[in-house]
């Protein structure tokens, strides 16, 4: 019996089991790599959809004009709306990626602080302030 079991009055000794410790760093890096790859793939897919849709719009408009049916105009309108939404989605995906990149850069890079002092007063007041500083430094 070990000392802990003896002190607690446990009849059966506590078995110690070895556990394998996994490296979290490698998992995080692989997730970041997958996220970057997914972003690039999603962005490329959206751009391809936009390009192919934009090339279809002139033909779609010609078909709608020839048919002169209200349903065709509605379908064309929905299609053009979908293309506009794809553009919005592309912009949102890019913004999210940029914000993530700036968060990463903000954590790793040192931030510079710039303090710009502005004096509001007359020229005489500036002269008096500078004279006082000169007297203090010499003094």
45 part of a folded domain: yes
23 part of a folded domain: no
136 part of a folded domain: no
In the chain, how many domains are there?
A: 1
52 part of a folded domain: yes
Domain carrying residue 91: 28-102
- pLDDT tens readout for residues 55-107: 999 999 999 999 888 899 999 999 999 999 999 999 998 888 888 777 766 65
5 part of a folded domain: no
pTM, rounded to two decimals:
0.51
Distance CA(105)–CA(94), nearest Å, equals 16
- pLDDT tens readout for residues 107-135: 555 566 666 666 677 878 877 877 888 77
129 part of a folded domain: no
- pLDDT tens readout for residues 21-44: 555 666 667 777 788 888 889 889
CATH of the domain at 89: 1.10.287
């Amino acid at each position: 019996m070990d000392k802990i079991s003896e002190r607690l009055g446990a009849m059966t000794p506590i078995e110690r089991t070895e556990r394998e410790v996994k490296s979290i760093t490698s998992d995080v890096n692989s997730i970041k790599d997958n996220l970057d790859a997914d972003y690039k793939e999603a962005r490329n897919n959206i751009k391809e959809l936009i390009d192919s849709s934009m090339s279809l719009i002139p033909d779609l408009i010609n078909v709608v004009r020839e048919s002169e049916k209200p349903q065709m105009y509605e379908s064309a309108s929905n299609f053009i709306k979908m293309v506009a939404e794809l553009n919005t989605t592309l912009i949102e995906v890019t913004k999210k990626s940029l914000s993530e990149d700036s968060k990463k850069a903000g954590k790793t890079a040192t931030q510079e602080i710039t303090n710009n002092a502005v004096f509001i007063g007359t020229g005489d007041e500036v002269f008096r302030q500078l004279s006082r500083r000169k007297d203090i430094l010499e003094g």
